[in-house]
Amino acid sequence: MDVSVSTRSDQSEICAAITEAEHRICQEDVDATVVVTDNPAELDDFNDTPLVVPVPSAPAVNTTQLCELLDQIDRDEHTETVHTLLTVQQNDTSLARISHDLTLVTTEPAHISEYRVSPKQSIRDSFRADGVVLATPLGSDGYAHAAGGAVLHPTAGVAVVPISPFTTDTTSWVLSPPLTLTVERDDEIYVVADGKTVATVGESDVLTIDSGPAFVVASN
């Protein structure tokens, strides 16, 4: 098929790789069949985006692999997988959409706090840790996996992984949204969505994590 490519990144490496693969770069959505982006959560309209190619932020982007994947899409030899974003609310205020992970960490380095993650209509025990990361299947092979979480199948839920837990019995969970996340101690906590700090929360705040829009990821 004739592939037109739209990029949602200003990384020169990505634009160069697309050009090297001899694909036309579009800046408008209307003619795009593939969107190359380092942050799928920032896409505006998923109905007009048939395929998403997620890439890491520079300098980690592998331009050779990107070229190969674009060529495979051009030959219709790629794999398509449906993924789902997560939405995050602080009390009643919308904070962010997430394609990879949500991290809560104390504002003071190496400072232990207490957290509670509760699936819908159930209560889960609280845990003490430096922080906690919630990862989508798309992001489960990143920071959450390094912290001890499982790599998830695209149809799985959300990986919930304590960061440096204050216990020798390290536990992580795979839960289905919606979830609520609270801080059980009077600490100030950073909320980091896909690598960007979006808020600080305290003991009186409730974060609600739910399923958001679905999108189709192209892969080798």
pLDDT in the model for residue 29: 44
Largest CA distance in the chain: 57
pLDDT in the model for residue 26: 52
**Cα–Cα dist 198/193, whole Å:** 7
pLDDT in the model for residue 30: 37
Residues β-bridged to residue 24: 4
Q: Write out pLDDT tens, residues 6-31.
A: 666 666 767 776 666 555 555 444 34
Q: Which amino acid is at 62?
A: N
| Residues 6 or more apart whose Cβ sits within 8 Å of residue 127 | 114, 115, 116, 162, 165, 166, 167, 171
Bond preceding residue 59 cis, omega within 30 of 0 = yes
pLDDT in the model for residue 147: 93
pLDDT in the model for residue 45: 63
Within a 10 A sphere around the Cβ of 98, how many other Cβ atoms? Answer: 27
Q: Taking the chain (220 residues) in consecutive chunks of 10 residues, what is each chunk's mean pLDDT?
A: 63 68 50 70 68 73 79 84 95 95 89 89 81 96 93 94 83 92 91 95 95 89
Q: Which amino acid is at 108?
A: E
Query: What are the distances in angstroms from CA 185 to CA 32, 60, 110, 203, 204?
Result: 48, 37, 15, 6, 9
Q: Write out pLDDT tens, residues 170-188.
A: 688 999 999 999 999 888 9
**Cα–Cα dist 139/52, whole Å:** 15
pLDDT in the model for residue 3: 59
